[in-house]
Amino acid sequence: MLLVCAAFAGLGYRLVDLQVLRHNELSARQQQSTEREFWQAPRRGDILDARGNPLATTIPVKTVCADPSLLGKQQALVAHAIAPLLGLTEAELYQKLFPRITKNDKGETVTNNLHYVRLQKNVPEATWQQVQQAMNGLSFGVDEQKLSKPDRQFLKNLRQSAVFAEADQLRVYPNGALASQVLGFSSSQEFKLDSRVVTQIVGRDGIELSLNPALSGVAGWRVTATDGKRQEIMPLRDQDVHPHDGLNVVLTIDSVIQHVVEQALAEAVREHSPENITGIVIRPRTGEILAMASLPNFDPNNLQTITTNNEANIAISRVMEPGSTFKTIVISGALNEHLVSLNDPVFCENGVFNYGGITLHDSEGHHFGNLTVEQVLQKSSNIGASKIGMKLQAEKLYDYMADFGLGSATGVPLPGELSARQFVRPPRDENGKSNWGKYSIAQIPMGQGVAVTRLQMAMAISAIANHGVLMRPMLVKSLQDRDGRMIEQYQPQAIRQVITDDTARQMVQALKTVVTADGTAPKAALTNYAAAGKTGTAQKVVNGRYADDRFVVSFIGFFPADNPEVCISIVMDSPKEGGRAFGGALCGPVFRQVAERCASYLNVPPDRDLPLRSPTLVASGTH
């Protein structure tokens, strides 16, 4: 009786210990071993062009994993069967199929990855099915019917559960490098959940980064009970929150026009070997960016192609001295203030102008005498522009620079945009101290001693094309859900009326003459359309000094001149021609190529009479 009572007393103490004294500890341990949280990743939204064509999309893939505890000593057999399917060597896969043994801080042996190792990411669904077939077809060289029940169960578990897959996503850019600096790129971010590694796609640059919250969506989760094989017990599911997929971002970029621009830039690179080249196509009346390209570029499908030389969108992230394209700002301001008219004469000092101890020259060795204000633009006279700038005076000149958006971020929804504020400074600071040098009023009107981004300058000339109204650049058209329902629609935004409509018309009239035989860009002239624009050639600053053989050349123009459909900016940095490089000669033909193909694609009606063909030639079938 004493022994029986002692046994019951011991049992009673054990029950009290488990149910009362250690209840919280054991309950947490039990919950950890049987309760599991499943991460439910949302699908990342697509990036579409203006016509709904995918520029970036997400496809479902598999992450193939293994449970080393179910493999026994069959690692070599499994590696031989599935390594070729996973794109691994047998030796690589063999090593992955073992648990990793390490030592902790106390020197104790610790076994990691006993039940979970990742073998390969981004495996297509079809390949995963082949892996399953290979595992189910494993032959162990024995008569399995003669094996014991535990051994047969071991082989069954090995075939069916030792290698498994988890749902994952892969970001894909169907057009490769097209618009790569606008789209940016993405990568997988990893974090641990329930002893497993979970991945999430995160934007790293471009639209992928700036609109990452909208594209990412909201993750879901499921909390449920699992059995001894860690399979879900459906009746014991506790929480089930479904994920909300990311939104689709519809851009104003047109992939056809983007391709046209990139193709033309690539041809210019082959011919002139510049350090870099950019092309921007804008719809002046709305500010929509139809194309924005920079070369060199990269393929966002292959992150190894991304370097510091090609990652940045240099249209917004680098500054340049605008050169003669800046003369449009100076003359617009002077016309708007009624200080000059297009027919007023300006004496250009026969090509050499001494001002305050410095000597200004007209480019290309020109020796202009009297030119009208219109001809100052047509011939791109540095001296003429400087004299007009002096009439406008420093304070007013700065006001127009600021009103045209120079020195301010344009607001384009892309990371890395520079405002260039430090390069477009008022003549005096808040304390009345001079910000400009002694010769600034003579040099700045030439486009020297001031720096802007390529997009700022393109938007400024687009404002002239748009009756004097500066628009905010528009890159995102709308946000849609996965079913195409509109969530948010964006509208064009006018920033300010910079110059009057009458001044803008006078500027268009003058800019038309630039693409004539007497102007600086006859190679930019279009056959069926009246074009208008301005060339630019600026010495490049290298190590704080102007280099004699390094120039940034440009042409920014629009067509049809009196009712513009698009404005096109082409900027080439340091072409191989060096001191013989001029914006009209090098960038004018690129403008013409892009403009003519855009006109055909957009069905822009000609504003000039088509040349009549000879009836004889037509009848003979000659074209």
Confidence of residue 231 (pLDDT cuts 50, 70, 90): low
DSSP 331-385: HHHHHHTTS--TT-EEE-GGGEEEETTEEEE-GGG----EEEHHHHHHHT-HHHH
Indicate whether 220 belongs to any domain. yes
Q: What is the pLDDT of residue 197?
A: 64
Domain boundary among 236, 251, 266: 251
Same domain, 230 and 375: no
- pLDDT above 60 for 426: yes
Helix (H, G, I), strand (E, B) or coil at 164: strand
- pLDDT above 50 for 241: yes
Which of 55 and 438 is assigned the larger pLDDT? 55
The DSSP call for residue 612 is P
Spatial distance between the Cα atoms of 210 and 368, rounded to a whole number of angstroms: 50
Indicate whether 442 belongs to any domain. yes
Same domain, 185 and 261: no
Same domain, 171 and 320: no
Indicate whether 115 belongs to any domain. yes
Domain boundary among 234, 251, 268: 251
Sheet with 288-295, side-by-side order of all strands: 288-295, 276-283, 566-573, 545-559, 532-542
Domain boundary among 221, 251, 281: 251
In terms of Cβ atoms closer than 10 Å to its own Cβ (0-12, 13-18, 19+), residue 369 is exposed
Same domain, 225 and 263: no
Q: 400-439 burial, b if ≥16 CB within 10 A, otherwise e?
A: bbebbbbbbebbbbbbbbbbbeebbbbbeeeeeeeebeeb
First to last CA, the chain: 121
Contact 324, 457 (CB under 8 A): no
Same domain, 157 and 284: no
Indicate whether 472 belongs to any domain. yes
Q: Chain-centre distance of CA 608, in angstroms? A: 37
- pLDDT above 90 for 224: no
The torsion of the CA quartet 467, 468, 472, 477, rounded to 10 degrees, works out to 0
- pLDDT above 90 for 474: yes
Same domain, 383 and 411: yes
Q: CB under 8 Å to 153, separation ≥6 — which residues? A: none
Same domain, 152 and 291: no
Same domain, 233 and 117: yes
Indicate whether 18 belongs to any domain. no
The pLDDT tens digits for 333-392 are: 999 999 999 999 999 999 999 988 888 988 877 899 999 999 999 999 999 999 999 999
Q: Count Cβ atoms below 10 Å from residue 337 Cβ, excluding itself.
A: 16
Q: Count Cβ atoms below 10 Å from residue 258 Cβ, excluding itself.
A: 24
On the question of a cis peptide bond just before residue 174, with omega within 30 degrees of 0, the verdict is no
Measured at the CA of 569, the angle between CA 563 and CA 575, to 5 degrees, comes to 150
In the chain, the percentage of residues whose pLDDT exceeds 90 is 70
For residues 501-515, give the mean pLDDT: 98
Domain span at 212 = 35-251
Same domain, 585 and 510: yes
Our count of domains for the chain comes to 2
Q: What is the pLDDT of residue 87?
A: 95
Q: For the domain that residue 434 is a member of, what is the CATH number?
A: 3.40.710.10
Same domain, 361 and 402: yes
Q: For the domain that residue 102 is a member of, what is the CATH number?
A: 3.90.1310.10
Same domain, 216 and 265: no
Closest among 193, 250, 251 to 219, alpha carbons compared: 193
Contact 398, 428 (CB under 8 A): no
The pair of structure tokens assigned to 9 is: 């007393």
Same domain, 89 and 181: yes
Indicate whether 617 belongs to any domain. no
The DSSP call for residue 517 is T
Q: What is the pLDDT of residue 48?
A: 98
Q: What is the pLDDT of residue 615?
A: 41
Contact 401, 169 (CB under 8 A): no
Q: What is the pLDDT of residue 9?
A: 83
Spatial distance between the Cα atoms of 508 and 531, rounded to a whole number of angstroms: 9
Spatial distance between the Cα atoms of 555 and 458, rounded to a whole number of angstroms: 10
Indicate whether 23 belongs to any domain. no
Measured at the CA of 582, the angle between CA 580 and CA 585, to 5 degrees, comes to 105
Indicate whether 619 belongs to any domain. no
Confidence of residue 563 (pLDDT cuts 50, 70, 90): very high
Q: Chain-centre distance of CA 536, in angstroms? A: 26
The neighbouring-strand residues paired with 293 are: 279
